[in-house]
Amino acid sequence: MGKKFIIVIATIVSFFSLTTLAVSQISRKTKDDLYSQIELYSYTLTTIQADYVEEKSPKDLIYGSLRGMLATLDPHIQFLY
């Protein structure tokens, strides 16, 4: 095999290795952000259930939050349950 061929193969392998590494780092950061937001949601739900004056069922709270989340996307989207 020629020297140019080896250089081309090494360059391609390096490119794909670095690309894979970069994508995995971005994916990990996105997961960490998502988990921290879910943790905030869970904390808020627990606090409301423990400290709110009127008793609210978890189902009502969760369904209400889902309706609110979908309302931020598009005025034509509706939560069907």
Give me the percent of the chain exceeding a pLDDT of 70. Answer: 65
Model pLDDT, residue 22: 65
Q: What is the pTM of this model?
A: 0.56
Domain for residue 29, yes or no?
yes
Domain for residue 40, yes or no?
yes
Q: How far apart are CA 72 and CA 81, in angstroms?
A: 18
Task: Domain of residue 9: give its range.
Answer: 3-52
Q: Report the run of H or E that residue 44 belongs to, with start and end.
A: helix 3-51
Instruction: Give the torsion sign (CA, 49, 57, 59, 66).
Output: negative
Domain for residue 80, yes or no?
no
Total domains present in the chain: 1
What pLDDT digit, counting tens, does each position of 26-47 carry? 666 676 778 888 888 888 888 8
45 CB-near residues (< 8 Å, 6+ apart): 58, 61, 62
In terms of pLDDT, which residue wins out, 68 or 79? Answer: 68
Domain for residue 63, yes or no?
no
Domain for residue 10, yes or no?
yes
Model pLDDT, residue 33: 78
